[in-house]
Structure 1
Amino acid sequence: MKPVPSRRFRQSLRLRPAAFSAGIAAAWLAACLAVTPLHAQTLPPPASAGSAATVQDTALLVADIVYVEADSILVAEGNVEAIYQGRRLTAQRIVFDQEAGTLSLDGPIRIVEPNGDVLTATSATLDDGFRNGILAGARIVLDEQLQLAAVEARRLGGRYTQLSKVAVTSCQVCGRNQTPLWQIRAARVVHDEEARQIYFDNATFHVLNVPVLYFPQLRIPDPTLTRARGFLPPEFRTSSLLGFGIKVPYFIPLGAHQDVTVTPYLSTESSTLELRYRRAFRYGDIEVNTAASRDSLFDGIRAYAFVDGSFDLPRDYKLNFGLQSVSDEAYLDLYGYSSADRLRNFATVSRYSRDTAFAAGVDYYESLRDEDTTETRPSAILDVDFERRFFPRAIGGELRLSTEAHTHYRPSDRDTDGDDADSVVDGRDVSRLSATLSWRDRYTLPAGLRAGLLGQISADHIRIEQDAFSEPEANVLTPAAALELRWPWLRRGPGGSATLVEPLAQIAWSGGDRPTTAADESTRQEFDEGNLLSLSRFPATDRRERGRVTALGLRWHHRNPIGWQAGLTMGQVWRADDDAAFTRSSGLGFSTSDLLIASHFETRGGFLFTGRGLLDIDDRAWTKVEARAEWETTRMDLGAAYLLLRADPDEDRSDTQSEWTVDGSYIFTPQWSADGFWRYDLGDNRSDRAGLGVTWQNECVSAEISVSRRFASSTNLEPSTDIGLTVLLKGFSTGGSAKEYRRTCSSF
Structure 2
Amino acid sequence: MRVLSMLFLLLAPVVASAQGAATLVADRVELNGEDQLIASGNVEVLFDGNRLTASQITYDEPSDTLRILGPIVIQANDGTILTADSATLDPRLENGILQSARIVLDQQLQLAAYQIDQRDGRFSQLYKTTATSCRVCGTAPPLWDIRAERVVYDEQEQQIYFSNATLRVKGTPILWLPQMRLPDPDLERSTGLLVPEQRNTTQLGFGVKLPYFITLGDHRDLTITPYLSSETTTLELRYRQAFATGDITVEGAISDDTVVDGNRSYLFAEGTFYLGDSYQLIFDLETVSDKAYLVDYDYADKDRLDSAVQLLRVDDDTLYNARLTYYQTLLDDEDNASLPPIVADISYETSWEPTFGGILRYGTSFDLAYRTDDTDGDDGRDVSRIGADGSWSDSWVLPHGVLAEAQIGLRADVYVVDDDDDFADEDLRVAPTTGFTLRWPLARLGNNGTSHLLEPVVSLSWSDSYGATPPNEDSLRTELDWANLTAASRFAGEDRIETGAQAAAGLQWTRFGAGGVTSTVSFGRIIRQETQDGFTATSGLDGKNSDWLVAGQITAPGGFLIDARSLWDDDDGLTVADSRVAWQNDRVSLGANYVWLGPDADEDRTSTISEWEVDAAFDLNTTWTLEVDGRYDVAADEPISAGMGLEWQNECVTVTVSASRRFTSSSTVDATTTYGISGTIGSFDAGQTTGSTATGCGY
* TM-score, normalised via structure 2 length: 0.96
Counterparts of residues 524-603 of structure 1 (less than 5 Å): 524-603=477-556
Q: What's the counterpart of residue 501 of structure 1?
A: 454
CA offset digits 1:308-344 (Å, max 9, x no partner): 1111112111111100111111110010100111111
Q: Which runs of 5+ in 1 are unaligned?
A: 1-8, 23-35, 38-48, 417-424
- Confirm or deny: 8 A CA contact 1:514 1:544 kept in the other structure: no
Q: Which amino acid aligns with 1:100?
A: S
Q: Which residue of 2 aligns with 1:411?
A: 372
The Cα shift of 1:399 comes to 0.8
Residue matched to 1:248: 210
Q: Pick from 654, 661, 677 the counterpart of residue 725 of structure 1.
A: 677
Q: Mapping of 1:331-346 within 5 angstroms?
A: 331-346=293-308
The answer as to 2:344 corresponding to 1:382 is yes
* 2:132 is equivalent to residue 140 of structure 1: no
Structure 1 residues 379 and 125 mapped into 2: Cα distance closer, same or farther (>3 Å)? same
Verify: 1:163 aligned to 2:164, yes or no.
no
Find out whether 1:281 has 2:272 as its counterpart.
no
Match of 1:421?
A: none
Q: How far, CA to CA, are the matches of 1:560 and 1:485 in structure 2?
A: 27
Asked if the contact 1:371/1:714 (under 8 Å) is kept, the reply is no
Question: What amino acid is the match of 1:654?
Answer: T
1:703 maps to which residue?
655
SS at the partner of 1:563? coil
1:292 to 2:254 alignment: yes
Following superposition, the deviation at residue 735 of structure 1 comes to 6.0
Residues in 2 aligned to 1:144 and 1:198: alpha-carbon distance in whole angstroms: 16
Q: How far apart in 1 are the matches of 2:504 and 2:309? A: 38
Give the superposition deviation at 1:260: 0.1
Name 1:348's counterpart in structure 2. Answer: 310
C-alpha distance in structure 1 between counterparts of 2:687 and 2:539, whole Å: 50
Instruction: Report the counterpart of residue 373 of structure 1 in structure 2.
Output: 335
In 2, Cα distance between equivalents of 1:265 and 1:169: 29
* Separation in structure 1 between the aligned mates of residue 431 and residue 205 of structure 2, nearest angstrom: 62
SS of 1:375 mapped into structure 2: helix
Aligned with residue 472 of structure 1, among 416, 425, 441: 425
Q: Identify unmatched segments of 5+ residues in structure 2.
A: none
Counterpart Cα distance in 1 of 2:176 and 2:686? 19
Question: More displaced, 353-362 or 607-616?
Answer: 607-616
Alignment-derived partner of residue 512 in structure 1: 465
Asked whether the 8 Å contact 2:510–2:520 carries over to 1, the reply is yes
Kept after mapping to 1: 8 A contact 2:183/2:190: yes
2:614 paired with 1:651 = no
Whole-angstrom distance in 2 between the partners of 1:103 and 1:258: 44
Q: Residues 735, 536 of structure 1: CA spacing in aligned structure 2 closer, same or farther, 3 A cutoff? A: closer
1:151 offset after TM fit, Å? 0.4
The separation in 1 between residues aligned to 2:69 and 2:422, in whole angstroms, is 98
Q: Is the 8 A contact 1:476 1:512 kept in 2?
A: yes
Residue pair 1:222, 1:733 contacting (<8 A) in 2 also: no
Matched, 1:690 2:666: no
SS of 1:297 mapped into structure 2:
coil
1:419 is aligned to none
Kindly indicate whether the alpha-carbon contact (under 8 Å) linking 2:233 and 2:256 is maintained by their aligned counterparts in 1.
yes
Offset of residue 628 of structure 1: 1.7
Alpha-carbon distance change, 537 to 68 in structure 1, aligned in 2, over 3 angstroms? same
- Calculate the aligned-residue CA RMSD, in Å: 1.9
- 1:297 CA displacement: 1.1
Partner of 1:29: none
Letter in 2 for 1:251: F
Is the Cα contact below 8 Å between 1:471 and 1:518 reproduced in 2? no
TM-score (norm. length: structure 1): 0.90
Q: Distance in 2 between matches of 1:732 and 1:123?
A: 29
Q: CA deviation at 1:19?
A: 4.7
Asked if structure 1 preserves the Cα contact closer than 8 Å seen for 2:296 and 2:669, the reply is no
Letter of the structure 2 residue corresponding to residue 181 of structure 1: L
**For residues 627 and 515 of structure 1, do their structure 2 counterparts lie closer, same or farther at Cα, with a shift above 3 Å needed?**
farther
SS at match of 1:591: strand
**1:324 equivalent in alignment to 2:286:** yes
Distance in 2 (CA, whole Å) between partners of 1:654 and 1:472 is 34
Q: Does 1:10 align with 2:2?
A: yes
* Aligned with residue 81 of structure 1, among 44, 49, 52: 44
| TM-aligned CA deviation for residue 647 of structure 1 | 0.8
Q: Aligned pairs, how many?
A: 699
- Residue pair 1:223, 1:737 contacting (<8 A) in 2 also: no
Residue by residue over 1:85-117, the C-alpha shift from the partner in whole angstroms, topping out at 9 and shown as x without a partner, is: 543322111100112222100111111224432
- Equivalent residues of 2:11, 2:91 under 8 A apart: no
Partners of 1:375 and 1:670 lie apart in 2 by 55
In 1: Cα distance, 2:266 partner to 2:663 partner: 22
- Mapped contact 1:221–1:733 kept (Cα < 8 A): no
Instruction: Report the counterpart of residue 66 of structure 1 in structure 2.
Output: 29
* Superposed displacement of residue 500, structure 1: 1.3
* Residue 743 (structure 1) shift: 5.0
Poorly superposed stretches of 4+, deviation over 6 Å: none
2:271 corresponding residue in structure 1: 309
Q: Distance in 2 between matches of 1:715 and 1:670?
A: 45
Contact 2:430 2:467 in 1 (8 A): no
Secondary structure of the residue aligned to 1:530 is helix
Partner of 1:217: 179
Identity %: 42
The DSSP-based 3-state class of the residue aligned with 1:573 is strand
1:45 corresponds to = none
Matches of 1:735 and 1:174, distance apart in 2: 26
Cα deviation per residue 1:475-531 (whole Å; 9 max; x = unaligned)?
A: 111122111111111123346543211110011111334633333325333211111
Letter in 2 for 1:445: L
Q: Secondary structure at the match of 1:337?
A: coil
Distance 1:522 1:124, change over 3 A: closer
**CA offset at residue 716 of structure 1?**
5.0
SS state at 2:296 partner: helix
Name the aligned partner's letter for residue 371 of structure 1: D
Question: Which of the numbers 2, 11, 34 marks the counterpart of 1:20?
Answer: 11
**Residue pair 2:44, 2:54 contacting (<8 A) in 1 also:** yes
Moved more, 479-488 or 301-310: 479-488
**Is the 8 Å Cα contact of residues 360 and 391 (structure 2) preserved in structure 1?**
yes
Q: Residues 192, 366 of structure 1: CA spacing in aligned structure 2 closer, same or farther, 3 A cutoff?
A: same
The answer to which structure has the higher strand fraction is 2
CA distance in 2, matches of 1:660, 1:635: 24
d(CA) in 1 for partners of 2:51, 2:449: 52
Please say if residues 3 and 25 of structure 2, whose CA atoms lie closer than 8 Å, have aligned partners that are also in contact. yes
